[in-house]
Amino acid sequence: MIKTRHLLFVVTLFFTSGQAFQQTNKDTQTVVGADKYNAFISFVDHKALEKEIKDIKAMSLAPIALGVKDNIDIKGLPNTAGSIALQNNKPKNSAYLAKRLKSGGYYIVGKTNLSEWANFRSTHSVSGWSSLGGQTINPHGVNRNPCGSSSGSAVAVATGLARVAIGTETNGSISCPASVNGVVGIKPTLGLVSRSGIIPISHSQDTAGPMGANVKDAARLLSYMVGFDPEDPATSNIPKDMQLSFSTNLSKTSLRGKTIGLMSASSNEPEENRLIIKAKTILISAGAKVVMLTNKGDYPGEEEYFVLLYEFREGINKYLSSQTNQVKNLKELINFNIKNKDAALAYFDQDIFLLSEQTKGQKQKYLDALETTKTISTEHIDSLLNKNGLDAIVGLTRGPAWEIDYEGGDAEATQKQLSWGMGGYAAMAGYPHITIPLGFVNNLPVGLSFISTAWHDKKIIEMAYAFEQTSNL
């Protein structure tokens, strides 16, 4: 049995010359292996794509091609969660977060590959693999895992197949793939981006967020994703005076006078220490005061796990029952996978599905676990911020990409490599988290995270931008 605190609940165009996407009919189709990284599962028909680009140009906007994780409803494209059980699931409408994208010049090229069911099917899962899309390839090493669950979104940006992409996160699903593929990823405050039209895991932790090659690109995309949606009550909490344009007024001076809490090394690993020293040097060069922190907080891993199990059953049953797909609830999904086990369960089982189905009638246990996770996570971050007078908490996002292991899955593979990281508390608390590239370990990218309290998204984006610009000097 693996420790739940180490579970990856990761829960995720400009076309390069010579890049060819397979299209054989006028309708959108599922295409496996259309790009050498398996970053995409499905693509928009060329004629429809040309029309979108023409419409955007007619608005005097520069077209920006976009990949969208294949657990987000986009009208005209299958929404599959990477599962063969949903390969014919074609939503009638697009998710709320997609409604303003065109006005920003974004046109959707296709749906990106992901860890099947956002990495919430088995404790022995392999991140970046789905029964429909196959294995997403990390461009920094074909034997290295791209992390997940927003694997394809991160890889599409990292390889230049996408200018920007949209991922989703429950706990690590944006930050981890962004970090190990060397791109920027933003997990917004819970409620800033609507979850309606997204295949769910947990309504208390799920959110969509942008990914880009740099902070400005990701921040601009976020500006066109946010807003109140009556179908998602969490969006009613957006402060009325909150600035929702996240790429304006970005400045390389935004760290001047800021007090930053930098997480100390968790071990005596020299590479970890080297990167922390590098981060500290850049922060000081950018004008920040640095306070070294030690992460000694309790982590309610068992409680969080039960919250996710309980909320998944309710959420997935609601989503599936609203679709035209043949599978209408979790029980039917479990049975489908059993009947099609050679393809659906090729490398790992569905123990998380089975445990989730068994949570019926355990509401009080769920409520207690939810209170514990929210209390511990918010108090941990808030106390660090308040006690030390901090503007943000900064630390290594996680270690470098691990080797792909189809026998033991991520659980065994991650025990054999450098493992640092932060972000779990922000995920549970619903607080904002941005990760940006910091450096390399053995030629593999490692990211740096900025975290703060709720609705301080713009603040940490501005600080991350200043860090990025200073590090590029």
Residues tagged active-site? 69, 149, 173
Q: What are phi and psi of 212, to 5 degrees?
A: -155, 170
Q: Are 374 and 367 contacting, i.e. CB atoms less than 8 angstroms apart?
A: no
Cα–Cα dist 253/225, whole Å: 26
CA dihedral 266, 267, 272, 277 (to 10 degrees): 70
Closest CA to 406 of 137, 145, 76: 145
Amino acid at 400: P
User: In this structure, are strands 289-293 and 259-263 parallel, antiparallel, or unpaired?
Assistant: parallel
Cα–Cα dist 211/186, whole Å: 6
Cα–Cα dist 129/461, whole Å: 30
Cα–Cα dist 126/137, whole Å: 12
Classify burial at 328, counting beta carbons within 10 Å of its beta carbon; exposed 0-12, middle 13-18, buried 19 or more.
Answer: middle
Closest CA to 251 of 463, 472, 455: 463
Query: Could you give the residue ranges of the DSSP H alpha helices within 202-300?
Result: 215-223, 270-285
Cα–Cα dist 134/407, whole Å: 16
3-state secondary structure of 393: strand
Strand residue runs (E) in 283-330: 289-293
Closest CA to 318 of 146, 199, 440: 199
Dig out the tokens for 345 from the structure: 């369960």
Exposure b/e, 411-448, CB count within 10 A at least 16 = b? bebbeebbbbbbbbbbbbbbbbbbbbbbbebeebbbbb
Cα–Cα dist 281/285, whole Å: 6
Q: What are phi and psi of 84, to 5 degrees?
A: -65, -20
Cis-peptide, bond into residue 149, ω within 30° of zero:
yes
